[in-house]
Amino acid sequence: MTRSKRLKNLPEQFFAKLASRVTQAIAEGRDIINLGQGNPDRPTPQHIIKAMQEATADPTMHKYSPFRGITPFKEAIAAFYKREYNVDIDTQTEIAILFGAKSGLVELPLTILDPGDTMLLPDPGYPDYLSSVALADIKFETMPLLADHHFLPDYAALDDAVIEAAKLMYINYPNNPTGAVATPAFFDETIEFAKKNNITVMHDFAYASLGFDGQRPISFLQSDGAKEVGIEFYTLSKTYNMAGWRVGFAVGNAALIEGLNLLQDHLYCSIFPAIQIASAVALTDSQQCVVDQLAVYEQRRNVLITACQRIGWAVNAPEGSFFAWLKVPEGYTSEGFADYLLDEVNIAVAAGNGFGKFGEGYIRVGLLVEESRLLEAVERISSLPEFSTNLSVQ
């Protein structure tokens, strides 16, 4: 048996490789502080678990789910978007239930692109976006996200030939890995750019609930004309600590939603109904758990950034997400510094170059351990010559 060309063309799974290294280090008996993961460390709120337990006990939940999801979940999604963003969503035509947002990210190009077509991806960006490129047998060009442009793509700087070829683009705010947030003006500009150049837009809204310093992340669909050009993906993984539940959804342009639903009709028989019931409770019940969680992440961010600056590491605080995007010391590559931290002080981080060419010079640090472990991590780093001699990052 031989693997298909499609599987052979898949990129190496960046996070699987990172996890393997950490697992090996732990197996060696080392006390690893893992700041490289993107896996929420806090439990799913109890009222959501209770709803799941009650629904699971209902025999009607044990049958095949309707292919395109159950009505109570869709109604909850529409109510959630109206309450949080004042966006109207048609439950019949503008919602696709997803097995986690990641599945939708991979599926979307298969629904609107043909082999050889081109899509635009942010650089740095979530590495699994590249999986869709391989599986759909398409091409991609990158949109650099640079610090001097607030980690937003500069559409005016893109090559005309690239713009002409592109049929689909992915954007993601709050951003993984940079922690940047989008503005209404940026989304308005994106819609104008998309309309002018006939490009479809997918906004990955995975970190929707995580904006710091009183800055509430905005939905792409809040901008006029957004539904005409694109859709938005939302996951319950981050907002409600439901990463292992594998549930998310897409909302927006009806034609794009129908394409996703049609493809999924041939791949799945929807998500276990009890999970959908619990997800509806998450979206419509008290949101105090979301408020409390944001406070935890913001405090962790403040602890980390303050500690880093105290040892002479000139880093900037992220505006959103649960990641910090930190410049590496002068003289190091991203991968070299990440390896150095793991080898010398037992700290795992994600090397910036794993997120793309323009991620070089950075590491990504997750705010997904207790404050005490963040402080311990910085204390260990402070023992390294680069910091013990008060050499700051340039």
pLDDT, tens only, 348-378: 999 999 999 999 999 999 999 999 999 999 9
Identify whether residues 14 and 120 lie together within a single domain: no
In a domain, 309, yes or no: yes
Identify whether residues 174 and 154 lie together within a single domain: yes
In a domain, 394, yes or no: no
**Dist. CA 231–CA 343, nearest whole Å:** 43
Would the pTM of this model clear 0.85, i.e. be above it?
A: yes
Beta carbons within 8 Å of 389's beta carbon, 6+ residues apart? none
- Domain final residue, candidates 252, 284, 316: 284
The token duo for 313 is 């590491």
**Dist. CA 125–CA 147, nearest whole Å:** 14
Tell me the average pLDDT of the chain.
94
**Dist. CA 69–CA 28, nearest whole Å:** 45
Peptide bond into 174 cis (omega under 30): yes
**Dist. CA 15–CA 207, nearest whole Å:** 18
Identify whether residues 311 and 356 lie together within a single domain: yes
Identify whether residues 315 and 262 lie together within a single domain: no
Average pLDDT over residues 309-315: 93
Identify whether residues 85 and 220 lie together within a single domain: yes
**Dist. CA 149–CA 127, nearest whole Å:** 21
> What is the pLDDT, as a whole number, of residue 386?
85
In a domain, 314, yes or no: yes
> What is the pLDDT, as a whole number, of residue 313?
93
Identify whether residues 187 and 86 lie together within a single domain: yes
Confidence of residue 391 (pLDDT cuts 50, 70, 90): very low
Q: 10: domain CATH number?
A: 3.90.1150.10
The token duo for 22 is 């950490």
**pLDDT surpasses 60 at 119:** yes
Residue 97's identity, in one-letter code, is I
Identify whether residues 115 and 10 lie together within a single domain: no
DSSP string covering 54-73: HHHT-GGGGSPPPTT--HHH
Tens of pLDDT, residues 45-83: 999 999 999 999 999 999 888 999 999 999 999 999 999
- Domain final residue, candidates 284, 307, 337: 284
> What is the pLDDT, as a whole number, of residue 242?
96
3-state SS class at 141 = strand
Residue found by looking up tokens 């008996």 in the block:
29
User: How many independent structural domains does the chain possess?
Assistant: 2
Q: CB–CB of 71/218 below 8 Å?
A: no
Confidence of residue 249 (pLDDT cuts 50, 70, 90): very high
Torsion angle (degrees, nearest 10) of CA 181, 184, 186, 189: 160
Beta carbons within 8 Å of 307's beta carbon, 6+ residues apart? 374, 375, 378, 379
Residue 3's identity, in one-letter code, is R
**pLDDT surpasses 60 at 192:** yes
DSSP string covering 243-298: GGG--EEEEE-HHHHHHHHHHHHHH-----HHHHHHHHHHHHS--HHHHHHHHHHH
- Domain final residue, candidates 222, 251, 284: 284
Tell me the C-alpha to C-alpha distance, in Å, between residue 356 and each of 110, 263, 352, 390.
Answer: 23, 29, 7, 30
Q: 135: domain CATH number?
A: 3.40.640.10
Identify whether residues 147 and 245 lie together within a single domain: yes
Query: Which domain range does residue 93 map to?
Result: 47-284
Identify whether residues 58 and 93 lie together within a single domain: yes
In a domain, 221, yes or no: yes
In a domain, 393, yes or no: no
Identify whether residues 39 and 55 lie together within a single domain: no
Share of the chain above pLDDT 90, in %: 88
Identify whether residues 155 and 89 lie together within a single domain: yes
Confidence of residue 392 (pLDDT cuts 50, 70, 90): very low
* 3-state DSSP helix/strand/coil % of the chain, to nearest 5: 50, 15, 35
**Dist. CA 78–CA 88, nearest whole Å:** 7
> What is the pLDDT, as a whole number, of residue 1?
84
In a domain, 260, yes or no: yes
In a domain, 349, yes or no: yes
The number of residues making up the chain comes to 394
Identify whether residues 332 and 347 lie together within a single domain: yes
Question: Which helix or strand (DSSP H or E) is residue 118 part of?
Answer: strand 118-123
The token duo for 29 is 């008996």
